């Protein structure tokens, strides 16, 4: 199964937003939207999209600032939309980190082609991605580091594998069996006691209040679930 790319659309015009959502969804993209730069950053942190399409003029935080902010932390493709066709504006946006600039009005087919071109250049699938983000968590698989709320935490290899696996499958319940197989390998004497101990240790390291887990919640008789956003 091919996972569809996640696209975040940022614009303050509800009508354009609606058109884009529909067109992109029709082409099997996973779409979310935001109406200004600040909420866009929130969605970005929670959802970790593969591409961002943003308007330039917006309330709260304009497209240029959004580009710069995103570029500080990510290399994901950014496509800027704008009614402004002046050259200086284009240059400014491209130098702020945008990958492409499309002047409104534009043909939806052209935009889709530019989206395909941008995604083609960064063909990373979730499993191979080096940096995994989910809410307060950032997992750098290359550096083998995990930080929570900006603070790096030291995890043992098993804890690291367990948490990474949970984050990869965030939002869904994973059975004890699945988790044990993922961390200890399928052919093993699977004992759910391990899991309890490790989940406990993990919670002590990442939860604000380990007695009231917020990230790793337990689903009795089934397994555990990781939630990035409360």
Partner DNA sequence: CTTCCTCTTTACGAATTCTTTATAGCCTTC
Partner DNA sequence: GAAGGCTATAAAGAATTCGTAAAGAGGAAG
Chain residues binding DNA by CB under 7 A are 154, 156-159, 176, 184, 189, 191-194, 196-200, 203-204, 210-211, 213, 218, 220-222
Residues of span 146-205 touching a copy of itself by CB under 8 A: 156-157, 171-173
* CB of 229 vs DNA, minimal distance in Å: 19
* CB of 42 vs a copy of itself, minimal distance in Å: 26
Phi, psi (deg, nearest 5) at residue 146? -130, 135
Q: 193 contacts which partner out of DNA, a copy of itself, none, CB within 5 to 8 A by kind?
A: DNA
28 binds a copy of itself, rule: CB under 8 A: no
Residue 221, Ramachandran bin (φ over 0: left; ψ between -120 and 50: alpha; else beta) = left
**Residue closer to DNA (CB basis): 184 or 215:** 184
Q: 133 contacts which partner out of a copy of itself, DNA, none, CB within 5 to 8 A by kind?
A: none
Q: 176 contacts which partner out of a copy of itself, DNA, none, CB within 5 to 8 A by kind?
A: DNA
Q: With CA atoms as reference, report the closest residue to 96 among 74, 129, 76, 71.
A: 71
Q: Residue-wise over 135-171: b if at least 16 C-beta within 10 A, else e?
A: bbbbbeeeeeebebeeeebebeeebbbbbbbbbbbbe
83 binds a copy of itself, rule: CB under 8 A: no
Only one of the segments 27-35, 99-107, 183-191, 192-200 lies at the binding site for a copy of itself (rule: CB under 8 A); that segment is 99-107
d(CA 94, CA 132): 26
d(CA 65, CA 160): 34
**Residue closer to DNA (CB basis): 123 or 230:** 230
First to last CA, the chain: 29
d(CA 199, CA 95): 45
Q: 68 contacts which partner out of DNA, a copy of itself, none, CB within 5 to 8 A by kind?
A: none
Residues 6+ apart with CB under 8 A from 113: none
Only one of the segments 103-111, 178-186, 190-198, 202-210 lies at the binding site for a copy of itself (rule: CB under 8 A); that segment is 103-111
Which residues in this chain contact a copy of itself in the complex, by CB under 8 A?
Answer: 75, 87-88, 90-91, 94-95, 98-101, 107, 109-110, 112-114, 116-117, 121, 142-144, 156-157, 171-173, 219-222, 225
């Amino acid at each position: 199964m091919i996972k569809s790319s996640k696209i975040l659309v940022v614009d303050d015009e509800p009508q354009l937003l609606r058109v884009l959502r529909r067109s992109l969804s029709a082409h099997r993209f996973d779409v979310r939207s935001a109406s200004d730069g600040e909420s866009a950053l929130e969605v970005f942190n929670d959802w970790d999209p593969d591409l961002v399409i943003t308007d330039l003029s917006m309330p709260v935080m304009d497209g240029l600032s959004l580009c710069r902010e995103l570029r500080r932390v990510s290399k994901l493709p950014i496509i800027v939309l704008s009614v402004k066709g002046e050259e200086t504006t284009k240059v400014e946006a491209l130098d702020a980190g945008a990958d492409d600039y499309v002047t409104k009005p534009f043909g939806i087919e052209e935009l889709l082609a530019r989206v395909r071109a941008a995604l083609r250049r960064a063909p990373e699938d979730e499993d191979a991605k080096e940096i995994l983000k989910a809410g307060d968590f950032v997992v750098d698989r290359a550096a083998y580091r995990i930080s929570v709320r900006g603070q790096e935490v030291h995890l043992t290899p098993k804890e690291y594998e367990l948490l990474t696996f949970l984050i990869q499958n965030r939002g869904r319940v994973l059975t004890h069996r699945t988790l044990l197989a993922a961390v200890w390998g399928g052919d093993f004497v699977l004992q759910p006691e391990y899991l309890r101990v490790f989940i406990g240790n993990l919670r002590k390291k990442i939860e604000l209040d380990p007695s009231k887990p917020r990230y790793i919640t337990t689903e009795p008789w089934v397994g555990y679930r990781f939630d990035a956003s409360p």
